[in-house]
Amino acid sequence: MKDAEQKHLWWQEGVIYQIYPRSYQDSNGDGVGDLQGIIQRLDHIKSLGIKAIWISPIFSSPMADFGYDISDYCDIHPLFGTMDDFDELLQAVHERDMKLILDLVPNHTSDEHPWFKESRSSKDNPKRNWYIWQDANADGSEPNNWLSVFGGSAWEWDEKTGQYYYHAFLKEQPDLNWRNPEVQEAMLNVMRFWLDKGVDGFRVDVMWHMIKDDQLRDNPVNPNYKAHQATYEKLIPAYSTDQPEVHDIVHKMRRVLDSYDERMMIGEIYLPIHKLMTYYGTDKNGAHLPFNFLLLSIDWDATEISSNINQYEGALPDGGWPNWVLGNHDQPRITSRVGKAQARVAAMLLLTLRGTPTIYYGDEIGMRDVPIPPDEIQDPQGLNMPGLNLSRDPQRTPMQWDNSENAGFTQSKPWLRLPEDYRRVNVKAQLEDEFSIYALYKRLIKLRQDEPALHIGSYRPVVATGPLLAYLRYTGEQRFLILLNLSHKPCHFAPEHFSFEGTIVIDTLPEREGGKVRKHVSLSGDEGMIIRLNTA
């Protein structure tokens, strides 16, 4: 069945917008964003053309890892508000015909979670096997060589019970034992709790971590490790992640979602393409969208990007829906990676590729990573591996709303500092500038939503040379040619075996819009264009 003939769901047709709630809008003057703050800014999100909002964790937590260490999965941290605030947010999102996606963190809990407190209380506690406990080796050493993503060993000695417990991240984040059916059912019930409230889906944190090798075999040494990398990269996590049994767990999660109407699941998975594809599941019974992070990790080079897009498209299972990401709370911002001019080209790439795009808050105004002085670093990844410049604070700074004190984010000192130029780079200033990157994002999203070829149509690469990335999006008689110059120098598109004629509908240089092109076209440096091709 052709794309245009299929029924497409909201998460296939729309754009997802990620909010890091600590940094979006503070409503009560404590310097930290909250749920009422998000409610205040929903009209900004709606006016951008967004269909779904994904919110990073807002649950009860000691905040050792800013909410990714959860002590109660079914309650709201007072920093963000109350359950009544959440209910109000959910209703306000739905009233604006948008969807709400929550962050689910099933791999580990906080060490303050009642489950872990019970598990830790004694070796014969009924919840002992809810976590991964192991005896020391005969010589007193740790059970194996597994490392923590946040630095150091992944094993923590518990003096009281005389065993080690496993933590893939901080020692305050013990990993659950997902081989235990009781753990599975408890977490599936967490999902049901939020789905019953009306939440539209989940982004599942570190999905590929959930099951570990049952023999706890040592991970192999990484021969390609470099000194500037995180210490975690010293080993290849062959046995501590991406085990075959994880797909049974993902399938069980999917079955829960499928028992509700039109709910969806995104999986956070940092794996090569061929492994990522397995998370769609056999017969599409896995994650709806295993997050595709290709554009976060490869060089900003037309040949490499084109090759990776084609590999990804070619690897998708039958019926598997693609998705694309330019940034998130764990990765440097796109504007910092490629520069202000190329960030516009990147926006055009994200919003014209086939599949569901996810926008990280602030990218719509070109926010950059903010330099955080060493004595202000809060991120445990940065604190635990000093000197490697691995803090994620720079990409988590407050949203820049206007040119008032603290950028309109808060009336007190913000939890992370703002950039020096926030009085120039903010939402209010860009709303008044028809040539701003915000205006470009808004127009791209509208075109994408208005044109079936762009939101559900097929993709076909077009051969181009040098710094030029070219491809077609089409459905039925409708065809768009996208040309993106990924360099600062001018280039020329004159394909030998592809004849085209059409009108430029959106260009990073708006002065060219409405212009007619035929057979060949020259592009300025940092220029991207969408050409509506004439029908025969």
Q: Is residue 142 in some structural domain?
A: no
pLDDT of residue 536: 67
pTM: 0.97
The total number of structural domains in the chain stands at: 2
For range 506-514, the mean pLDDT: 98
283 and 201 within one domain? yes
402 and 347 within one domain? yes
Q: Tell me how far apart the alpha carbons of residues 240 and 405 are, in angstroms, rounded to a whole number.
A: 46
72 and 14 within one domain? yes
For range 165-178, the mean pLDDT: 98
Q: What is the pLDDT of residues 132-144, one digit of tens each?
A: 999 999 999 999 9
Q: Residue 432 in contact with residue 330, Cβ under 8 Å? A: no
pLDDT of residue 7: 78
373 and 464 within one domain? no
260 and 342 within one domain? yes
In 48-98, at which residue ranges do the beta strands (DSSP E only) sit?
A: 52-55, 59-60, 72-76
529 and 384 within one domain? no
Name the catalytic one among 111, 172, 205, 364. Answer: 205
Average pLDDT, the chain: 96
Q: Tell me how far apart the alpha carbons of residues 355 and 367 are, in angstroms, rounded to a whole number.
A: 24
For range 54-66, the mean pLDDT: 98
Among 517, 480, 488, which residue's Cα sits nearest to residue 501?
517
Name the catalytic one among 103, 172, 268, 393. Answer: 268
Sign of the alpha-carbon torsion through 254, 256, 259, 261 = negative
Q: Is residue 170 in some structural domain?
A: no
Question: Would you state the structure tokens that stand for residue 69, as one six-digit string?
Answer: 């260490």
Among 325, 393, 509, 447, which residue's Cα sits nearest to residue 334?
325
Q: What is the pLDDT of residues 188-235, one digit of tens each?
A: 999 999 999 999 999 999 999 999 999 999 999 999 999 999 999 999
pLDDT of residue 157: 98
Q: Residue 303 in contact with residue 272, Cβ under 8 Å? A: no
405 among known catalytic residues? no
Q: How confident is the model at residue 438 (pLDDT cuts 50, 70, 90)?
A: very high
Q: Is residue 123 in some structural domain?
A: no
Q: What is the pLDDT of residues 31-48, one digit of tens each?
A: 999 999 999 999 999 999
Q: How confident is the model at residue 100 (pLDDT cuts 50, 70, 90)?
A: very high
441 and 472 within one domain? no
Residue 482 has pLDDT above 60, yes or no: yes
Q: What is the pLDDT of residues 281-307, one digit of tens each?
A: 998 899 999 999 999 999 999 999 999
Print the domain residue range for 469: 458-533
Q: Tell me how far apart the alpha carbons of residues 132 and 135 are, in angstroms, rounded to a whole number.
A: 10
205 among known catalytic residues? yes
pLDDT of residue 252: 98
77 and 28 within one domain? yes
pLDDT of residue 232: 97
Percent of the chain surpassing pLDDT 70: 99
Q: Is residue 175 in some structural domain?
A: no
For range 58-79, the mean pLDDT: 98
For range 139-161, the mean pLDDT: 97
Q: How many CA atoms lie within 13 A of 88 on its CB side?
A: 15
Q: How many CA atoms lie within 13 A of 81 on its CB side?
A: 22
486 and 434 within one domain? no
pLDDT of residue 5: 44
pLDDT of residue 479: 98
For range 183-190, the mean pLDDT: 98
Q: How confident is the model at residue 387 (pLDDT cuts 50, 70, 90)?
A: confident
462 and 439 within one domain? no
Residue 2 has pLDDT above 60, yes or no: no
For range 250-267, the mean pLDDT: 98
Q: Residue 441 in contact with residue 364, Cβ under 8 Å? A: yes
For range 469-481, the mean pLDDT: 96
Q: Tell me how far apart the alpha carbons of residues 284 and 179 are, in angstroms, rounded to a whole number.
A: 23
Residue 355 has pLDDT above 70, yes or no: yes
